[in-house]
Amino acid sequence: MNRKTVLIVFCVATLLLLVFGLIFELRSLRRYAVEITSGDWDAGKHVTLGELKLNYTKKAESTAAPPRPTSVLGNIIDQQLNYGSRTRVLTRTNWNAPIMWEGMYNPKLYDEYHKTRGTTVAMTVFAAGKYLDAYLRKFLISAELHFMVGFPVTYYVFTDAPENVPDIQLAEDRKLKVIKIEKRYHWPEISMVRMRIIADFIKSELHDPKQFIFCMDVDQEFVGRFGSEALGDSVALLHAHFYKRSLREFTYDRNPKSRAYMNEGDFYYHAAIFGGSLQNVKKLTEACDEAMMADKTNGVEALWQDESHLNKYFWINKPSKLLSPEYCWDRSIGDRRDIFVERLMWAPKDYERLRTYG
């Protein structure tokens, strides 16, 4: 073998080694996830959308179910969520929707994204009967301290006693509008009729494509940030008492005669909070109202009224974002190891007194 042949063989062998090395390196990189480091979040560095600091760090093991393809992609900030930061809890559904827990996201990035987008937020809250005096003032004052701070917000208070709505000092670009509703004398009726009222209200009054809406119960108090990270196309809340329980323990409606009937499911959602885009919340409330009216025609009432129908709707029409129980926590629950931050808490209940009218 002459010198020229030896040189050619050497060059070919060297080239092959380089190719195999490159393939090995690419395979190794695939085991790593690009994610924002939590240290940068705490230091307040690199918080602009154009200057995100990205590092190749080994992806932590998650308890989330394996994701499957979904048509719901969310916004660009949702794609930066750190799913491996909370290893004790589920952080993503099997249809790839995030479950929002403290430590998964940088709140500054969400605020910057939505302010650049010109996002506004509507909130509906029903304060009928004795619920107005018992809860509304504290609910609104605490919302001003913690709910979507820095964003234009309009509170829509639906009540049968507009003259009793308290006068609350509001921040700039925040408004309170009172809508009178018919007086109802039975709590289940109040619980069920709100779906139709919300659907009709969105159709007639709310048309801004940049606006999101949250529908909330009044017997709650904000105690921590409830910010723009909670916004999404279709948002559901995991019930604090059921997020760790098995499917057979969920209080779905088990009556086959009801349109809310469920013998299978994935999560149990709390109707104290739901939200999303105007279009999606309108579809949800219309569907729940139609199902409740069908039940009424057939002499049936779902176990938990609108909450039962809401769970059925979200079983068929998957939400694009789930809020963890941090977003609506009940302090009577003994085990709170998963709750790093309380954002909204249940107010003390006195149903015997509050749900009687006269």
Q: How far apart are the first and last CA of the chain?
A: 108
> Distance between CA atoms of 10 and 16, rounded to whole angstroms?
10
pLDDT of residue 220: 97
Whether 105 shows a pLDDT value over 80: the answer reads yes
Q: Bridge partners of 174?
A: 153
217 annotated as ligand-binding: yes
Model confidence at 92, in pLDDT bands (50, 70, 90)? very high
Instruction: Give the pLDDT confidence of 51-80 residue by residue, as tens digits.
Output: 333 332 333 333 333 333 333 445 688 989
167 annotated as ligand-binding: no
Answer with the residue of higher pLDDT: 2 or 337: 337
Instruction: Give the pLDDT confidence of 9-68 residue by residue, as tens digits.
Output: 565 666 655 555 544 444 433 333 333 333 333 333 333 333 333 332 333 333 333 333
Determine the distance from the C-alpha atom of residue 154 to the mean position of all C-alpha atoms in its chain, rounded to a whole number: 19
Question: HEC string of 279-301?
Answer: HHHHHHHHHHHHHHHHHHHCCCC
Model confidence at 2, in pLDDT bands (50, 70, 90)? low
> Distance between CA atoms of 249 and 238, rounded to whole angstroms?
14
Catalytic residues: 307
pLDDT of residue 12: 62
pLDDT of residue 349: 72
DSSP 65: P
Instruction: Give the pLDDT confidence of 196-255 residue by residue, as tens digits.
Output: 999 999 999 999 999 999 999 999 999 999 999 999 999 999 999 999 999 899 999 999
Model confidence at 348, in pLDDT bands (50, 70, 90)? confident
Give me the chain's average pLDDT, please.
Answer: 83
| Tokens read off for 313 | 């709707």
- CB contact set of 51 (below 8 Å; sequence gap of 6+): none
> Residue 84's CB: how many other CB atoms inside 10 A?
18
What counts of helices (H) and strands (E) characterise the chain? 9, 12
307 annotated as ligand-binding: yes
pLDDT of residue 277: 98
The candidate with the shortest Cα–Cα distance to 54, out of 80, 78, 75, is: 80
DSSP 76: T
DSSP 49: G
Range from 6-20, 104-118, 149-163, 296-310 carrying the lowest mean pLDDT: 6-20
Range from 24-28, 121-125, 273-277 carrying the lowest mean pLDDT: 24-28
| AA identity, residue 236 | A
Distance of CA 260 to CAs 33, 248, 264, 291, 319, Å?
A: 41, 16, 12, 7, 17
User: What values do phi and psi take at 180, rounded to 5?
Assistant: -80, 135
What sign does the CA torsion over 133, 323, 153, 224 have? positive
154 annotated as ligand-binding: no
The candidate with the shortest Cα–Cα distance to 193, out of 123, 293, 102, is: 293
131 annotated as ligand-binding: yes
Q: Which CATH superfamily is domain 108-354 in?
A: Spore Coat Polysaccharide Biosynthesis Protein SpsA; Chain A (3.90.550.10)
pLDDT mean over 102-129: 96
Cβ(48)–Cβ(28) below 8 Å = no
| AA identity, residue 152 | P
Q: Has this prediction a pTM greater than 0.75? A: yes
| AA identity, residue 104 | M
